[in-house]
Amino acid sequence: MINRITTQLSTVKNDIEKFYDKKVWHFLTLNGVKLDESTTEIQWIFSKYNNDDITMFYTNVKQDEIIPSITDILPSAIMSQREIVDMFGIEVEDSEKGLYLDEDSEQMPLSSCGI
Amino acid sequence: MIESFKKAFNNLFKKPQTIDYPATPLETIKGDRGLIEYGEEHCIYCLKCEKACPPGSILFTKTETPSSNEKNKKSLKYQYNQNLCIYCGECVRACPKPDEALWQSDKKPSISTRKDRVNDAWFEVEMLKRDIE
Amino acid sequence: MMAKKTINIPLGSQHISLLEPVKFKFECENEKIIAVDSDVGFVHRGIEKACTTKFKYDAVGYVVARICGLCAITHSLTYTTAVENLLEGELTLKVKYLRMLVAELDRIHSHMLCLSHTAENAGFEAMFMQIMGDREYVMDLQRLLTGNRVQFDYISIGGVNRDLSSEVAKQIKINLQIIKEKVHEYIDEFTNNWSLSLKYKDIGTLSLDEAYTYNAIGPLARASGIATDIRATSDYLPYDKIGFQIQTATKGDIHSRNMVRLNEILNSIAMCENIVDGLPDGEIQTKFKGKPKGESIVRLEAPRGELMYYLKGDGKAMLNRVRIKTPTFACIPAFSEVFTGSNYADAPAILASFDPCLSCTAK
């Protein structure tokens, strides 16, 4: 079962800091789903260490907003954040472009699928 | 450490494990996955194999010289690309007559050279298919 | 006072001991590494985009199996389980047992490849050839069961593609008995050989606290002491009925990771024998109706760690979003943490003991 919790861009860092305990919860990944022309849903997915419970924080983001970075709480989130910058074209703090794509390839490939 | 010395000494007198292909031909076992073969007399032209194939290596195109099968109402012909096929067997599982019209053998595909024009011939078949749709 | 000078040395994308296309740039000061910069993404092929634009939902299982050569069957199995959650139908118990058999045979040959590569990077070429020669017993079994040595294409929506006949079952038990004796010899060799212990013990350590901070998974985490394994808690496949036991170690160096992998091979051999002895009767294919609608998350244990799939569909033949999280992708920050502080000459042996799979990382 997936437990969905809604949040906002301005409060997501505080929510995750209050919720996360490093011996109980395990950070899985950061995900993006394109809902329509200008809105993307960003999800932060966690699961318990010896259980099948999944908790997901989600929020809707427009194309020109900046997502805050959570690498001071979770150092391993840097890889998923760089992937969101490459694939969707949305800016994230402290994450630079160029994980997968070069300058002369097609940019932001996932920003036009699923609509 | 004495054990590894003994083992290394014994390995001096064993044959190598590699097969020197193509001097020695490869052996095929009964259950190997190989080419798909077609029996035209039993086919009912339902086109289920064309919809089930993941890479799209079976296509039915219009032809001027149709076969004498009475189920072939739209004058279609079966085309198969042995280089695009992944030998998964989805077409055999989707066919309503799996051992008479379509089955999987254990033969390996033949080696193609540049004279066979493998890619260009298949692009022409795909163009024929796009024209009738 | 002169400022200390540092040199940049790449363990580049082309290296004589590297099996995978990854680039680490080390900043070294007098043989000790003080900073690491990594670059993955040399083999990006755009598979997530292709799964939602070019292939329909029943063909995506064959596309996804071609992301990686070593963990191919686990990708296919996880995707098929996730899609079956969004359709209507019921699997038989025989199908679940056959899927577990193929996944465990895959785990045995993948761990043997990693152990032989670790021995080669420490300089012991004879052990590399020995383990690769013994791995042929498992490859022969896979060819008899599924028809191919590496890419199986064994799993489809609703069941498996071939049945287990009695001659193949007899051959499985003969070959697995041979491999069990050889693995006991390897455990003896890896533990008691004096020159290997200089290269492996107390080198490349990841402590328990660092493993929790950097979210390590797979044999890397189990060798540091975290008892995390998806096979212990999943309810898609009945692992508790065939004798699964979790294997851990405490020190977190290269020697502990080798021991965890060797013990996992012994446990997988015992599980395969239990499956072949206790296989129930039933059909191997059932029909699943409908088109995928909703969202689902499924996690399974690949040989290198935990693999996660997220699917979203809205009732059409093409899926809306396919998100794949592979084990090596999540562990790259932990790799950089282990490299910092070690000697430069140990870097190839440490990298081989992580068992990276870059085709999975850069999809």
Helices (H) and strands (E) in chain C, counts: 14, 8
Q: Retrieve residue B8's tokens.
A: 């290394």
Reported ipTM: the value is: 0.91
Instruction: Give the pLDDT band of residue C114 (cuts 50, 70, 90).
Output: very high
The mean pLDDT of A35-55, rounded to a whole number, is: 85
A59-68, B5-14, C225-234, C338-347: segment of lowest average pLDDT: B5-14
Write down the pLDDT at residue C2: 59
CATH (residue range C7-361)? 1.10.645.10
pTM for this model (two decimals)? 0.92
CB C196 within 8 Å of CB C126? no
pLDDT in tens, C157-209: 989 998 988 999 999 999 999 999 999 999 988 888 888 888 888 888 888 98
Question: Helix, strand or coil for residue C33?
Answer: strand
Domains of chain C, by residue range, sit at 7-361
Write down the pLDDT at residue A114: 57
**Min distance A94 CA to chain C CA atoms (Å):** 15
Q: Is C1 a residue whose pLDDT tops 60?
A: no
Question: Helix, strand or coil for residue A59?
Answer: strand
Write down the pLDDT at residue C204: 87
Domains and CATH numbers, chain B: 34-108+118-133 (3.30.70.20)
**Min distance C172 CA to chain A CA atoms (Å):** 33
Write down the pLDDT at residue B16: 80
Q: Is C131 a residue whose pLDDT tops 80?
A: yes
From residue C258, alpha-carbon distances to B5, B46, C329, C350 in Å are 23, 55, 21, 11
CB neighbourhood size of C295 (10 A): 20
Residues 6+ apart with CB under 8 A from C13: C21, C22, C23, C39, C42
Q: Is C102 a residue whose pLDDT tops 90?
A: yes
Q: Which residue has the tokens 């059409």?
A: C316
Query: Any long-range contacts for C25-29 (C-beta under 8 Å, 24+ apart)?
Result: C26/C339, C26/C344, C26/C347, C28/C344, C29/C4, C29/C5
**Min distance A100 CA to chain C CA atoms (Å):** 5
What is the assigned CATH class of domain A2-112? alpha beta
Write down the pLDDT at residue C323: 92
Q: Would an 8 Å CB–CB cutoff place C167 in contact with chain A?
A: no
CB C179 within 8 Å of CB C186? no
Write down the pLDDT at residue A113: 63
The mean pLDDT of B113-121, rounded to a whole number, is: 87
Write down the pLDDT at residue C267: 93
Instruction: Give the pLDDT band of residue C63 (cuts 50, 70, 90).
Output: very high
* Residue C252 φ/ψ region, left for φ over 0, alpha for ψ in the -120 to 50 degree band, beta for the rest: left
Average pLDDT of the residues of chain C? 89
**Min distance B106 CA to chain C CA atoms (Å):** 9
Write down the pLDDT at residue A35: 86
Q: CA of C331: which chain A residue's CA is closest?
A: A76
Q: Is C19 a residue whose pLDDT tops 60?
A: yes
Domains of chain A, by residue range, sit at 2-112
Q: Would an 8 Å CB–CB cutoff place A112 in contact with chain C?
A: no
Q: At what angle do helices C254-277 and C347-354 cross, to 10 degrees?
A: 20
Q: Would an 8 Å CB–CB cutoff place B17 in contact with chain C?
A: yes
Residue C35, Cβ density class (10 Å: 0-12 exposed, 13-18 middle, ≥19 buried)? middle
Listed residue (C282, C317, C308, C307) closest to C86, CA to CA: C317
Listed residue (C55, C60, C108, C106) closest to C83, CA to CA: C60
Yes or no, beta carbons of C143 and B87 under 8 Å apart: no
Identify the DSSP state of B66. Answer: -
Cβ-Cβ contacts under 8 Å between B and C: the total is 43
Residue to test with chain C: of A34, A40, A56, A79, most C Cβ within 10 A: A79
From residue A22, alpha-carbon distances to B26, C223, C248 in Å are 54, 18, 19
The shortest CB-CB distance from A52 to any of C228, C233, C362 is to: C233
What distance in Å separates the CA atoms of residue A80 and residue A58, rounded to the nearest whole number?
15
Would you call the peptide bond into B55 cis, given omega within 30 degrees of 0 as the criterion? no
Q: Would an 8 Å CB–CB cutoff place B77 in contact with chain C?
A: no
Listed residue (C294, C291, C358, C300) closest to C331, CA to CA: C358
Q: Is B42 a residue whose pLDDT tops 70?
A: yes
Q: Is B32 a residue whose pLDDT tops 80?
A: yes
Cβ-Cβ contacts under 8 Å between A and C: the total is 71
Amino acid at C200: Y
**Min distance C177 CA to chain A CA atoms (Å):** 33
pLDDT in tens, B54-99: 998 999 888 888 777 777 788 888 889 888 999 988 999 899 988 8
Identify the DSSP state of C28. Answer: E
Write down the pLDDT at residue A115: 55
Yes or no, beta carbons of C161 and B93 under 8 Å apart: yes
Q: B and A: touch, per 3+ CB pairs < 8 A? A: no
Q: Is A68 a residue whose pLDDT tops 80?
A: yes
Write down the pLDDT at residue A65: 86
CB C273 within 8 Å of CB C176? yes
Buried b (16+ CB within 10 A) or exposed e, C45-67: ebbbbebbeebebbbbbbbbbbb
pLDDT in tens, C230-274: 888 888 888 888 889 899 898 888 999 999 999 999 999 999 999
The mean pLDDT of A100-105, rounded to a whole number, is: 82
What distance in Å separates the CA atoms of residue B49 and residue B58, rounded to the nearest whole number?
7
CB neighbourhood size of C203 (10 A): 17
Yes or no, beta carbons of A28 and C295 under 8 Å apart: no
Percent of chain C with pLDDT over 70: 99
